[in-house]
Structure formats: structure tokens, C-alpha cells
Amino acid sequence: MQGAMAAPALAPVTRQVSSRAAPALVPSSPESVQPLPAAVAELPVLDASGRPVPFGTLFRDRRAVVIFVRHFLCYVCKEYVEDLAKIPKSFLQEANVALIVIGQSSYHHIEPFCKLTGYSHEIYVDPEREIYKRLGMKRGEEIASSGQSPHIKSNILSGSIWSLWRAVTGPLFDFQGDPVQQGGTLILGPGDNIHFIHRDRNRLDHKPINSVLQLVGVQHVDFTSRSAVIHV
């Protein structure tokens, strides 16, 4: 791996309003780096072959941006991950940072989702949503203004129709995860340390990618140049 470039100090853990409180993950002061509980670090995620991997080993020896997404049929998640796919691996290697997506479907859906989105960075699933629960990720949609996402290309009507079409034309009719589960973004490691956590309040409340990359010293990525979306 290439040498790390100098990176700015990571942002402190931020407190998010959530119906599922996670007192163990709320720091005593804004400057604190919060430890990830050992019980959470030991929980398994599954790779594309169904092999279990302890969550904590993903960032034990490196910094990692870990993004928990909703279900794999969610059009917002699809389009957000399509932009994550545009981050050059060389940018991450220069900053010595891993990019990890975690979904909550069966591991069988990982490969098709990566093929659909063009995503080639690390990806795992937590099909029992146990890590989502332990990290206090919200279930249900909180009515809150999240502003205009720079990563979402479809409107809610066309996006929802496209998600439904993918569901009914897939080999199994399922939502590839709990449809009311929200995700979030964390900066973790090295070791079992949480440097930043954002829990999504609704499907559009994800963090803009460049704002997260800036926190870990990864170069700015231009997401504006992309072709029109055509749904067939």
C-alpha cells in the first residue's frame, strides 16, 4: 500500500437524534474519540461468498469510511453507491483509507448489486441487522429536510417505480433487506475507535461523499460529469 498523505484531524463523533438511542456510542465531550464496544467489533458481516468476517477486523489496522446503506433495491442507495464507485482506488490508497459499504440483504445479492452499480471497493452484508441495531441506526422515515443530494439523479416517483421493477423482475421477490431500515456513515480505526458517526434520519439524509472524504484526507472527487439516467 502506498504511503499515507497528511490528513486533517478527523471530526468528532456527532450526536444524531434517533428513535433508537445508542447511549454507549455517545461521547462525554465533543472532542472524544469513542471506542467501539468489543461486542459490536466481534459481530460478523458476510462477504460475497457468504464467509463471515468479524466487523472489527475490517478497520483494525487502518482507517476506514464505513457506509451502511438501506436495502439494495432502494434507488437512493443504488445511486449513492454508483457515485461511491467513482472514487479512484488510487485516491484511497494515497490516504491509506479503506472504503467499505455494508448492506443488510442476503450475501447472494452482493455480486448483482456491484454489477449494477459498478462498485468495486469492499462490500459486506449484515443480514440480521445486528450491527445496525447496536450502532443505533434508525428504522422508519423521520420527516426532516435533508436538502438536495448531489448524488441522487431520480425523483421519488421514477426511483420508486424503478426499485419495484427490479424487485418483480428479480429471481426472488424481495426487497434485499428491511425496507424501513436506515443507514449511516462512520469513520473507524485504526483499532476499535469511532472518529465520526452520522445516522441517517431518512433515505435522503446520507452525508455528501466529498464531505466525508475530506475528513480522512482523500482527494475531492468530481461527481458532476455523468450521463443521463435512462430507465428501461
Q: For residue 117, give the CATH number of its domain.
A: 3.40.30.10
Q: Would 28 be classed as within a structural domain?
A: no
Confidence at residue 180, expressed as pLDDT on a 0 to 100 scale: 87
Q: Would 67 be classed as within a structural domain?
A: yes
Q: Would 193 be classed as within a structural domain?
A: yes
Predicted TM-score (pTM) of the model is 0.75
Residue among 172, 141, 142, 150 nearest 72 (CA): 172
Rounded to 5 degrees, what are φ and ψ at 112? -60, -35
Number of compact structural domains in the chain: 1
Q: Would 222 be classed as within a structural domain?
A: no
Q: How far is residue 18's CA from residue 201's CA, in Å, rounded to a whole number?
A: 7
Confidence at residue 61, expressed as pLDDT on a 0 to 100 scale: 95
The residue range of the domain holding 128 is: 34-140+151-216
Q: Would 11 be classed as within a structural domain?
A: no
Q: Which residues of the chain have pLDDT under 50?
A: 1-31, 155, 157-159, 161, 165, 227-232
Q: Would 16 be classed as within a structural domain?
A: no
Q: Would 161 be classed as within a structural domain?
A: yes
Q: Would 226 be classed as within a structural domain?
A: no
Confidence at residue 203, expressed as pLDDT on a 0 to 100 scale: 77
